[in-house]
A and B are shown apart, each in its own frame.
Chain A
Amino acid sequence: MQIRDYILRRMMVLPLLVVGVSIIVFGLTRIGGSPIGIYLSHEMSQDEVAQLEEKFHLNDPVPVQYFYWASGVLQGDLGWSGVAAAPVTEVFLPKLAATMELAISAAIVAVILGIALGTFAGARRNRLPDHLTRIFSISGAAMPLFWFAILALIIFWVNLGWFPIGRSDPDMWARISHPTNLYTVDALLAGDFGAFRDAIWHLVLPALVLGYGATAIIARMMRSSLVEELQEDYVDAARAKGLPERLVLRRHARRNALIPTVTVIGLSFGFLLQGSVVAEIIFQWPGLGRWMADSVLRGDQATIMAYVLFTSVLFLFVNLVVDVIYAYLDRRVVLGE
């Protein structure tokens, strides 16, 4: 099957999957109770509470409530966020941009470091660099993110003062416009290198901390995959042809070792999005993760639903992209079969 046909087929199935996920999550959130609490205060009279329930159709059966919610979504209305005290759609995009900026930065860190370290270790199997890399990798995978993040904060923010917390210096943020809400991009678009430096300065620590866990997984996968590939016959053949070891590694073994690693990279993005919840809370990053965590704690169901809807669509896309890249890297893979 052509890649184009495969993508089209997957895109057609995607809405059904999203609807299925949303029904499940909507049902699960309603099991936790009515969402009315987030809109209430004890100053309200019973009449006022009843009016709110009527307004949000909360006295209707759950399927009817789902219908109203889904109708709103189709019209671009994701409901009211009690945590942000604003419509979900108004707050969602800026926070999504903040999260994506962090997750992509962490992914860049993880991919570059993970592949480099994995290659470095795989090519030096069972030698000291391999052992050191293993220690580094296992540490990254084993350390709880919240602990590592707080440790990094104490060292680099509290004690050394090298890196700040949050996403920006408010004055820097205010002096440029934000058409994309990606601070780095907006700063470059504005040609304001002071703001760009501020953006990078705020990104370094959370991106390194968040990326470290994923680095470890990618590096381990890359290393084992490379070790396997280096034992294959085609590698011996390449060596027998007289190719230098460096070219054998780069042109032959590493390319093939990347195939399973790419799958892990795709999954790692999910890890990074999940990890961003913790990283955003600890680094005061004003993204979706922190908003989501507050919403879960406070029972803000409109926000929870919006987040789940978004992440389910995102994961479906990421899986699709991974499948396509997989097919590109390994010509033996036939899409759709």
Chain B
Amino acid sequence: MIRSRQRNRWSSLVGILLALALVAAGCTSSDSTDTTAASTDETTATGTDTTAGSDATEPAETTEPAASGDEIGNPGVFVHAADDEPTTLDPAQVEPGEGGETMILQVYERLLEIPVSGPDPVPGLATEVPTLENGLISADSLTYTFPIREGVTFHDGSPLTADDVLFSWERVMDLELPGSAAEVLSDVVDSMRVVDDFTFEVTLQEPNAAFLNAVVPAMVSSIVSREAVEANGGVVPGEPNEFMQTNMIGTGPYQFVAWNRNENLQFEVYDDYWGTPANLDLRVEIGANPDIRVLGLRAGEYDTIETDPSFIGDIEGAEGVTIFSEGLTVEPIHIAFNMNAPLDQLPETDRIPEGFFDDPRVRQAFNYAFDYEAFVQGALGGFGDFNPHYIPIGIFGYDPAAPVYNQQDLAKAEELFRDAGVWDTGFSVSVVTEEANLFEVAALVLKDSIDQLNNPNFEVTVASVAEAVFDEAHASDPVPYAMWVKNADPFADPHAYVDAYTNPDGEWGEIHGFRDAYVDPDRIADLIDSAKVELDPTARAALYSELQQLLYADPMWIIAAQEGVVSARRDWVEGFVSNPLWPRPSLKFALMDKG
């Protein structure tokens, strides 16, 4: 009995000590901040020497004073909390707007780059931007010559030559992977050749005003190491390269270290970078719930977070946190009219007649009925604006004088519905959307807006579905819904927008049947085609201006809003710059520092 009691006491004591030790281990491991490790160099890095002269503008900020003695979190490494996990890290496979583009921007480089501010490209791996004046564009505007920068090395140590450029672009077009942006190159390029080790020449199928600012700086046009690819699976047309999907060997200021799925991606400074090197290593935390990202920012765990305007209220006033809110994303949130909706496949509750959306008055009526103010002030927290059909603000060709649907006008909507003969017959239509995001809110605002017409014959149903279910419907032809909500893909040139979203023979024009619904489809197609090859900026802008006028009267979308660029960061972050033309979250981390 005595032995038993002693053993019990010992076991109790050991248990208590173990518990105390565990707690002590936890408590004493709190973040021992080594502020000396962080760079104190206040010079803001501006990336490459060629972008140093770009006209960076002072961003609009709401800065709360940092706490005195505020300790810098995670010294030596820049931590960004992102929204999406990449599905691939391969430029030849990545889908525009997808999380992988964010990583590609940091590690790979292109011949020309979108600078810190503005849409006009600056030299990247090419040393000059081709122009007619410098002779690097041929007189017929078909052949472009790119002098390649010498002394550049990939992260595996191999030198960059024009052969790598040719290989990278050919690889994209040879692979032609499903879901990739291969057509950005294959629709434009006729032929390519290596002139010498440091001169690359490309000939286009036809003159293309978008080539330099939308094709060359696109993520799909990133330059990869021929040596690395060929040593790791090579190029098999139609087959993704597993190595390239999960690894990155570029020429940029960051080199890839690790991808811990569902957790983070790690990068380190590339010491042999040809330009201004990055200041800090980089870690991109992925997949955190938006609320947790906000908490992490407040805790100092994250330096920048990807957020949307609806979370700004949670951040405003937080100590040591700066909100950046300047400019607009170039991905307008739009609600589609599907003229080709198969009536026999629509949800059971739907009740629309054949050719319901063919009448432009019906589409106009929906545009007038939408409560734009509610969406921007509510869902977007005031961070948003309205662009005309269909060129986002900030993109070349946007005409400030173009008419825009930006005010709810229920009387006008009712008048148009009556004129179209719909007011008495009514309709019931479902709007499909991904659940639990801004798109769902836009659909709900549309439902509420139509309800405000007080017509018992009108009914809008919001069909909120899982992302995969939405993607399946969205990728179908015909789309089995009469209306859907999403955002546009981001582009740097107006042609990509008007071609995808308004051209009667474009991507969505064919799927949704724009040609049969437009009042004057040929004129719209002519304007789009003419602007594509018009190299004179003034003449090109005039063509887009006319197009925007036409599309206002014949809208194929409800553009709910152009979302504001909103991000939040710790106020110890230095050199913060953002360009909406960079893939979301529109940041180049190599330009930033913590001080």
Contacts and interface: CB of A to CB of B under 8 A. Distances in A.
Contacts of B298: 158
A204 B292 contact: no
Interface stretch (A42-50, A223-231, A258-266): A42-50
A82 B471 CA distance: 12
Contact of A161 (B85, B245, B262, B299): B299
Interface string B407-426: 00000000000000000000
A296 B435 CA distance: 12
Contact of A284 (B87, B261, B288, B435): B288
Contact of B295 (A83, A154, A163, A281): A154
A286 B468 contact: no
Contact of A44 (B8, B25, B178, B295): B178
Contact of A43 (B15, B95, B468): B95
B8 A40 contact: no
Contacts of A91: 261-262
Interface stretch (B27-35, B39-47, B327-335, B371-379): B27-35
B23 interface: yes
B181 A282 contact: no
Interface stretch (B52-60, B123-131, B472-480): B472-480
Contacts of B470: 37
A201 B21 CA distance: 11
B440 interface: no
Nearest to B76: A171
B291 interface: yes
A38 interface: yes
B207 interface: no
Interface residues of A, number: 60
A91 B8 CA distance: 43
A294 interface: yes
B interface residue count range (under 10 / 10 to 19 / 20 to 34 / 35 or more): 35 or more
Contact of A198 (B29, B96, B435): B29
Contacts of A85: 85-88, 245, 261
Contacts of A83: 85, 262
A35 interface: yes
Nearest to B486: A42
B385 interface: no
Interface in A253-308: 281-282, 284, 286, 290-291, 294, 296-300
Given A84-B262, A161-B30, A37 B85 contact: no
A297 B25 contact: no
A104 B264 CA distance: 24
A170 interface: yes
Contacts of B285: 166, 284
Contacts of B475: 37, 40-42, 44, 49
Interface string A13-51: 000000000000000000011111110111111101101
A40 B469 CA distance: 10
Contact of B179 (A43, A154, A167, A296): A43
A300 B468 contact: yes
B139 interface: no
Nearest to B81: A284
A127 B29 CA distance: 39
B263 interface: yes
A84 B261 contact: yes
Contacts of B474: 40, 42
A270 to B, nearest CB: 23
Given A157-B299, A282-B289, A43 B25 contact: no
Interface in B147-184: 178-181
Nearest to A280: B262
Interface in B261-319: 261-264, 266, 283, 285, 287-289, 291-292, 295-296, 298-301
Given A85-B261, A286-B263, A42 B88 contact: no
A162 B15 CA distance: 23
B258 interface: yes
Nearest to A84: B261
A91 B477 CA distance: 33
B454 interface: no
Interface in A160-188: 161-167, 170, 174
A296 B469 CA distance: 11
Contact of A37 (B15, B86, B288, B467): B467
A14 B178 CA distance: 42
Nearest to B263: A286
A281 B289 contact: yes
Which 6 residue pairs are nearest across A and B when measured between Cβ atoms? Answer: A299-B468, A37-B468, A37-B472, A41-B179, A48-B178, A299-B466
Interface of B: 1, 8, 15, 22-23, 25-27, 29-31, 85-88, 95-96, 98, 178-181, 245-246, 258, 260-264, 266, 283, 285, 287-289, 291-292, 295-296, 298-301, 435-436, 466-477
Interface of A: 32-38, 40-46, 48-49, 51-52, 82-86, 91, 95, 112, 150, 153-154, 157-158, 161-167, 170, 174, 197-198, 200-201, 204-205, 247, 250, 281-282, 284, 286, 290-291, 294, 296-300
Given A95-B262, A284-B292, 6 more contacts: A37-B475, A43-B179, A49-B476, A82-B87, A112-B15, A170-B283
20 contacts: A33-B468, A37-B470, A38-B467, A40-B472, A40-B475, A42-B475, A49-B475, A51-B178, A82-B468, A83-B85, A85-B87, A85-B245, A91-B262, A112-B15, A162-B30, A163-B26, A284-B285, A286-B262, A290-B262, A297-B467
